[in-house]
Amino acid sequence: MQGASTAVKMQITMDSTARISREQVDAVVVGAGLAGLYALYRLREGGLSVRVFEAGGGVGGTWYWNCYPGARCDVESVDYSFSFSEELQQEWTWSERYAAQPEIQAYIQHVSERFDLLPHITFETRVESAVFDAGRARWTVSTDRGETVTARICVMATGCLSTRRVPPFAGLEDFTGEQIHPGAWPQDRDVSLRGKKVGIIGTGSTGIQIVAALAQEVDELYVFQRTANYSMPAHNGPLPPGVMNEVKATYAQRRRDSRQTKRGFPVPAAATADSVFNYTPEEQRERLERMWSHGGAIFTSVFGDLTVDARANEIAADFVREKIRQRVNDPAIAERLSPRDHPLGGKRPCVDTDYYEAFNRDAVRLVDLKETPIVEFHSGGLRTSVETFDLDTVIFATGYDAITGSLNAIEIRGIGGRRLRDKWDNGPTAYLGLCSAGFPNLFMLTGPGSPSVLCNMVVSIEQHVELMLTLLDRADHERLPIVTAEPDAEMRWAEHVADIANGTLLVEANSWYLGANIPGKPRMFMPYAAGMATFIAECDAIVANDFEGFSFGASALERVTAKTV
């Protein structure tokens, strides 16, 4: 315990040289997307003073930045929305089954204005550091605009897909055309691509949406595919008033049901928890066709063993590849668009409208980078191993440093001055995906070890914020309102998350779920793969068992310091 006391004294000394805070609040929230806004709403409703810092020029997070052509949610609109206000649910009417970016952004803006959240948010301000002062049990948060705020609570609502990545292509600095990452689509001007020669690198969810949107607009569209992806039809369309009215009348039950599913939204009748092998080939085909006709990424839940049994997975994957062949006229192109190097669901399933049909157009050409990789860029375009392409614009649909990238971009220091990114050198861990030992009163919404990107993000966000508030309510009973995860509990949870993932086929894909798209990033399956309902049950059991794995009050600082320093 003597070592712990020394470490705390060292921390106090470090903090005494820091800048004097200009403002003190109860909580700082980093990010004004859906997670940050809900955290702000709930903290403020609890009587706390809150400051929110947002790097963008408006609310929305992902939906502020990703305003590229074709940007659309892959969860049905009526479920991709907040459940905390019955009045909000009744007054907002969605126009489409799968809402496009402008409508989602309008919804988020409406929420911000309706609940008077905007006065608490400072825009166009990026948080550079968050440092814990053990002596005062407060966080000091500093921004790129020179502002410093201290708070008892620090909430990281930085988003799972917000740190953009462009691979270091040789000669990229020589390219004189326009370069755009979809996660930073220009906000200050219209991007006209009509009549231009456009190259898009990447065929994940974003790339698929952009290809479908641009196929009829550009003069020439070159789709540089690194990995063929599974994509299911959205069957999108206007929401008839009768459907919207029925949803509104049953919203309360719909929300409860959603939290009892694996994916965080209602499951169609064609889905089953049974094994595919409980059905005859004719019955298998009938269910596959029904789920395909229903549309959406929920297709991957057609059978209960799809993500755990390679033989079951192959039955569904073969069905998808058959559908691709039916949609693409050229058999050779259809084969290149058919995934064969990873299981269905191993990478994020995509949802599209006329993506595969785009390759039937003369203006669209598929370039398979596994056969002919990119060698270098030049002033007027790029060269593959066999061909030169002249391009006016290159769109880098090359993804993100997922889940942890935005956290590691901030200088987050906990007890003893230890940096979070250093703690995560061998892989990111967080108890219940929310708290990391040695970082008291720091909450990472939908962080590593939570369902996050494998589920409906709005349900994940609401559940995580509610868990945070439950912990803070418990902490308020202590003379020093502090909550922190116990190191042993965090390690047990990390092992549990890994065990769940290793029992599935998800770890067999070279995906961003594992951090595989970032050179040097530790390979660890980051989301909780057992699903939303199981995660909620785990959290509820931990709370019911006297908050097992969490420590509260002054003694928490001493115990955690002793174990982490």
- For residues 10-23, give the mean pLDDT: 44
Contact 343, 317 (CB under 8 A): yes
Instruction: Quote the pLDDT of residue 16.
Output: 34
Residue 462: both structure tokens together = 């609401």
The values of phi and psi at residue 525, to 5°, are -70, 115
Q: Which residues on neighbouring strands pair with residue 133, listed in sequence order? A: 138
Instruction: Quote the pLDDT of residue 564.
Output: 60
**Taking the C-alpha atoms of 449, 455, 459 and 461 in order, what is their torsion angle to the nearest 10 degrees?**
40
What is the distance between the alpha carbons of residues 519 and 152, in angstroms, rounded to a whole number? Answer: 35
Instruction: Quote the pLDDT of residue 13.
Output: 33
Per-residue burial over 265-283, b if 16 or more Cβ lie within 10 Å, else e, is: bbbeebbbeeebeebeeee
Residue 64 pLDDT > 60: yes
What is the distance between the alpha carbons of residues 52 and 46, in angstroms, rounded to a whole number? Answer: 16
Instruction: Quote the pLDDT of residue 6.
Output: 35
Chain mean position to CA 214: 25
- For residues 505-524, give the mean pLDDT: 94
Instruction: Look at phi and psi of residue 417 and say left if phi exceeds 0, alpha if psi is from -120 to 50, else beta.
Output: left
Q: Using N-to-C axis directions, what is the helix angle for 34-45 and 457-475, rounded to 10°?
A: 30
Task: Read off the pLDDT of residues 246-301 as tens digits, 9 standing for 90 and up.
Answer: 999 999 999 999 999 999 999 998 899 999 999 999 999 999 999 999 999 999 99
Instruction: Quote the pLDDT of residue 8.
Output: 34
CA distances from 135 to 11, 138, 200, 212, 313 (A): 7, 8, 52, 56, 54
- For residues 80-85, give the mean pLDDT: 98
Residue 311 pLDDT > 60: yes
Domain ranges of the chain: 2-163+402-483+529-540+554-564
- Quote the DSSP letter at residue 391: -
Helix (H), strand (E) counts: the chain? 17, 20
What is the distance between the alpha carbons of residues 13 and 114, in angstroms, rounded to a whole number? Answer: 44
**Given the structure tokens 């200009």, which residue do they identify?**
22
Instruction: Quote the pLDDT of residue 7.
Output: 36
- Quote the DSSP letter at residue 21: P
Residue 204 pLDDT > 60: yes
What is the distance between the alpha carbons of residues 21 and 502, in angstroms, rounded to a whole number? Answer: 46
Instruction: Quote the pLDDT of residue 129.
Output: 98
Instruction: Quote the pLDDT of residue 534.
Output: 98
Residue 15 pLDDT > 90: no
Please write down the HEC assignment for all residues of 519-555: CCCCCCCCCCCCCHHHHHHHHHHHHHCCCCCEEECHH
Instruction: Quote the pLDDT of residue 563.
Output: 67
Architecture of domain 2-163+402-483+529-540+554-564: 3-Layer(bba) Sandwich (3.50)
| Nearest alpha-carbon partner for 202 in 181, 216, 186, 171 | 181
**Taking the C-alpha atoms of 217, 223, 229 and 233 in order, what is their torsion angle to the nearest 10 degrees?**
10
Residue 133 pLDDT > 60: yes
Instruction: Quote the pLDDT of residue 524.
Output: 96
Contact 25, 35 (CB under 8 A): no
Task: Read off the pLDDT of residues 386-395 as tens digits, 9 standing for 90 and up.
Answer: 999 999 999 9
Instruction: Quote the pLDDT of residue 494.
Output: 98
Residue 2 pLDDT > 50: no
The values of phi and psi at residue 239, to 5°, are -90, 115
Residue 226 pLDDT > 80: yes
At 5, the pLDDT band (50, 70, 90 cuts) reads very low
Percent of the chain topping pLDDT 70: 95
Instruction: Quote the pLDDT of residue 9.
Output: 33
Task: Read off the pLDDT of residues 515-565 as tens digits, 9 standing for 90 and up.
Answer: 999 999 999 999 999 999 999 999 999 999 999 999 999 877 777 676 665
Contact 218, 337 (CB under 8 A): no
Percent of the chain topping pLDDT 90: 91
- For residues 351-373, give the mean pLDDT: 97
- For residues 83-87, give the mean pLDDT: 98
What is the distance between the alpha carbons of residues 307 and 311, in angstroms, rounded to a whole number? Answer: 10
Residue 334 pLDDT > 70: yes
